[in-house]
Structure 1
Amino acid sequence: MTLTRRTVIGAAVAGAGSLAAGTPAQAFRPRAAVRPPALRPGDRVRVIAPAGVPDTRLARGIEILESFGLVVEPGEHLYDRYGYLAGTDEARLADLNAAFTDPGVRGVFAARGGYGTQRILDGLDLAAVRRDPRVFVGFSDLTALIGRLWRDARLVGFYGPMVNWTDSRTGPVEIESLRAAIMTTAPIVLTRDPAEPSAAVEVPGTATGTLLGGNLTMLQTSLGTGDLPDLRDAILLFEDTDEGPYSYDRMLTQLRRAGILERVAGIAIGQFTNASGGTGQWTAAQAVQDRVGDLGVPVLGGLRVGHGTGQLTVPLGTPATIDTAAGTLTVRAGVRE
């Protein structure tokens, strides 16, 4: 049976988050999505490291941003190290807030994921974000920051490659995907790649809603915090890396038990990277199909979003449509003129 579920995009979709009405955060939260201005050649952008420590690959990512005509500058503490973190919490938070408060900075790019973003989010200057919205790009551990920016400022974020760049994983097509997402207002269309392990996950149909989500591990660990977006009537996008099939099962089961998945309009699935099960066990795709196949909403897998080769860039926080017959995820531009 083909499932069809159309949702209304507008105030109802962009409405209140899961915090109780009347709380201070709720009082200041905009109701409509905020798309930052598109980046243009000559714009200043800041590279910061809210999580793990970048390495020598950072130079390649900076080179790519400069090839877009952007003026790239490092955060003050970009090259700090504190154990497995890119500097102390105080230093990483200072760079994060400086990037969002400097009026000359029009884009903020995460250097690397890993771990550490959640440790500093409660100190984020959300008033500055609301006052002067700008492009933010990151993925993986930065899912928490993208979620917080959406929940409390309705700022559209960009789920795409970080500046610690690997050409063997993200080549010319992926470079253009990033450029187009942050510098043009053209819609973004991703097509199912049959070679992706998640392509085996499908529930037929079409669905429209606000595209939200990110890394599945980070979505799970954001339960009970201010970082998990309200997924009511949303298209949930998720991906992950280095997780076995049972891990996908466990995380999706927790989201189901928490009542999160019963709210979604549809599900778009990115890359299952380095996911392997034991002999005779389910694959990651089979485990995910078991957990989302009975939700009564369309599910489209096989999208090149995440930690795998060929990672593409998508905005989170704008209207999107999944069409399983066409094998496409079509997303409204995340920036405005």
Structure 2
Amino acid sequence: MDKRQFIKSWAVVTSLLPLASCANVFAAGNNQPNQSSLANKQLLPVAINPGDTVALVSPSKATDNLLDVQIATEVMQALGLKVKISQHLTSRRGHLAGTDQQRADDINAMFADTEVKAIICLRGGSGAARILPLLNYALIKQHPKILLGYSDITALHNAIHAQTGLISFHGPNGTGSWNSFNADQFRRVFFERELMHYENVIEARDELAPRTNRIITIRGGKTQGEIIGGNLSVLTSLAGSPYLPDFSNKILFVEDVQEAPYRIDRMLSTLKLMGALDKLAGFIFGDCTGCNPIGGYGWLTMDQIFDDHIKPLNIPAYRGAMIGHIKQQFIVPVGAKVEMDADKGSFTLLQSVFQSI
């Protein structure tokens, strides 16, 4: 090849390099986080019926007792469902239920599995945020299914909703309490597909005035919007990442467990500083189990914290909803449109949350 032919050939090759580079970017970008949740419209999961197969996965903490798996399996069977165990459900690496890749692979596999109609998280704990970059969001979007869990599973609910628009469900984990209230919620939400009305069950028992499941109105009024949220600690840990949904005109629900009030104050401060609280249409706080003050120079009360962070927003807001680390839990569809009434301490679904059959 002479000099002129070489230069001509090289010009052809170099002209194709940008196209090859773009092809690589597009190929790599298929599973990359979408930086704008606004690009994802609401996506409804496929409904389930008795007799369908559900999968048990463990995205966070490992189980230290195989009885947990047996109990979760029996619970799903008692609800009329068949159970499929994910490959790494009982794996362990430190406190985690296997490596990050194994836990992500299980979730990806269960979304891809045509036999599986819904995915139930075995337990919470810690570690779900580690697998968010490893989830195949394009695959999840192609196979929209019910995902149920709470606590650390908040990371999955928010990431999947932010990246795909899929509605998922904040409610009991497989190893949680499956009392008559929770089982009834499950049947009404998933089998009967009710437009649920969520209002605390209040029983006076042997008291002149009821003491349990009481709500406190922070600021009265009604509003409508898509409801998002979950565990406050996990939610705020996603700040600055592409795995947090847009808060504009949303109704935020949060809960927590064993966090001192000053930590709740710090987390709400984080949401305030990032501009999230100022975008909200409404605010619901569930239960803060074991969130007791500690000694020292004194502390803000929970009442003062909500007065400081939530009341000035001038939006409907209340606390005490049956959401959180408690025995009786609402099953809340994350990303669904609801109407809330802060004076009554309730919210109601305004839409079907499943694809039409």
**Could you tell me which residue of structure 2 aligns to residue 178 of structure 1?**
186
- Paired residue secondary structure (1:120): helix
Aligned residues: 312
- Give yes or no for the alignment of 1:36 onto 2:36: no
- Cα 1:301–1:89 change in 2 (3 A) is same
- Paired residue secondary structure (1:268): strand
**Higher relative CO (CA 8 A, sep ≥ 6), structure 1 or 2?**
1
Q: CA deviation at 1:336?
A: 3.5
Q: In structure 1, how many angstroms separate the alpha carbons of the residues matched to 2:221 and 2:270?
A: 25
Higher helix share: 2
TM-score by length of 1: 0.86
**Could you tell me which residue of structure 2 aligns to residue 149 of structure 1?**
160
- Cα 1:71–1:225 change in 2 (3 A) is same
- Give yes or no for the alignment of 1:200 onto 2:216: yes
Q: In structure 2, how many angstroms separate the alpha carbons of the residues matched to 1:317 and 1:177?
A: 18
The correspondence for 1:257, drawn from 273, 284, 288, is: 273
**Could you tell me which residue of structure 1 aligns to residue 142 of structure 2?**
131
- What does 1:144-293 correspond to in 2, within 5 Å? 144-166=155-177, 170-192=178-200, 195=211, 199-278=215-294, 281-293=299-311
- Give yes or no for the alignment of 1:317 onto 2:335: yes
CA contact 1:139–1:161 (8 Å) conserved in 2:
yes
List per-residue Cα deviations over 1:267-308 (Å, max 9, x = no partner).
011111111114764433442332211111010212111112
The correspondence for 2:118, drawn from 101, 104, 107, is: 107
- Give yes or no for the alignment of 1:336 onto 2:355: yes
CA contact 2:55–2:83 (8 Å) conserved in 1:
yes
Q: In structure 2, how many angstroms separate the alpha carbons of the residues matched to 1:247 and 1:46?
A: 35
**Could you tell me which residue of structure 2 aligns to residue 76 of structure 1?**
87
Q: In structure 1, how many angstroms separate the alpha carbons of the residues matched to 2:157 and 2:53?
A: 21
Q: CA deviation at 1:41?
A: 1.6
Aligned-residue Cα RMSD (Å) equals 2.1
CA contact 1:158–1:334 (8 Å) conserved in 2:
no
Q: State which structure, 1 or 2, has the greater radius of gyration over its C-alpha atoms.
A: 2
Q: CA deviation at 1:109?
A: 0.8
Q: For residue 260 of structure 1, what is the amino acid of its counterpart?
A: A
Q: In structure 2, how many angstroms separate the alpha carbons of the residues matched to 1:196 and 1:118?
A: 33
CA contact 1:216–1:240 (8 Å) conserved in 2:
yes
Unaligned runs of 5+ in 2: 1-31, 203-209
List per-residue Cα deviations over 1:89-117 (Å, max 9, x = no partner).
12111111101111221101111110111
TM-score by length of 2: 0.82
Unaligned runs of 5+ in 1: 1-22
Q: CA deviation at 1:26?
A: 5.8
Q: In structure 2, how many angstroms separate the alpha carbons of the residues matched to 1:29 and 1:130?
A: 15
Larger displacement relative to structure 2 (25-34 or 226-235) = 25-34
- Cα 1:265–1:28 change in 2 (3 A) is closer
